[in-house]
Structure 1
């Protein structure tokens, strides 16, 4: 309905009274901007409609906030969360990603200049585990070099020595969730042979084993057939992507 109205307005000829400009000064926006510092916008990556009350109750139990929160639907399936203080907001942003009914919850900082329709939620932080690297590659520099090919590197799990001996390398990366999950990368080390480095994602919610997208599960995949659902041994993705 909103899209139809917007297209209709583009075709209208405005009267002189309608075209008269109203100027809003800082006094009209100051309070909202101040309160917005403790706000985030939120969306559940799901094709199903989300109940505000049910989502609110679930997030309150999950987040265990010190000063509570208020939650509002500002656009269809797009929500604004106002926290009691900045510490609760930081806590929630730091523990992302999280899921609701096994679907990824996207959270983004408050942007005062945007209308709800202009807000695009498509990024989420994930800790990515990297396997099958030689011992000489267990460095901070290796983590950053590979991580940058997946998205913006937010954090690197490595001590001050810049080397960490562990089963895998861990990097926190800002990932575009509108693209399929990257299962691994071919890496050439010091001009030698290329080798396959496989990835696993921590706190990975539902995703499609057929097309690798986070927006739906296999049973909802528009590209899957009934035969594929019954014989899923040919699927290109699977539970092994979960770290």
Structure 2
């Protein structure tokens, strides 16, 4: 898998995952920080791309805003269940948090039994973190499967030291497709960078659409191109033709 071609701000639309792509992972997800030089680079790119820069993440958009402030950007949060279609637009919520109330109740006994697990409640998604308790990986996955056993309208996804549930029918690929149908992304060529299994939906869509699909890290992928790590992403973003 080759290195990606240089970004062309005149014709590309750029979509970036956050964790594992723009920033490294941390035991405490709230403790990550974006390198100030990278923040400045993204602001410059957003301007050169005429606003066709989107952050596509499992994080809530409110959290992305805090990490990336004062960068203006379109965003898909919680794998697309939250949307900000333009950098200056309002945040839309495709579903409400009450849809996951039964799962919250069913997970409670498992969390009481394994207090080293951490439940992150995003409102429209629930995430069990086991990064600080890797020996509980199988327990966390089984607990989530049991919590959604009779809920076919919910989707369980596994990521980097997490297992997550959210309403079915949405993923990062669909979010990117929706963005590409509207300004400022329409009529541009999509470029997507992501590291996790949840990014494969977007990488596949972008590759099939004739765009530039870039896997970050060494894991198997449908992507056409690869960057080794977060530092390589930073270098690629800062490069000029």
TM-score for both structures, normalised by structure 1: 0.24
Q: Which has the larger radius of gyration?
A: 1
Instruction: Judging by fraction of residues, say which structure has more strand.
Output: 1
TM-score for both structures, normalised by structure 2: 0.25
Instruction: Judging by fraction of residues, say which structure has more helix.
Output: 2
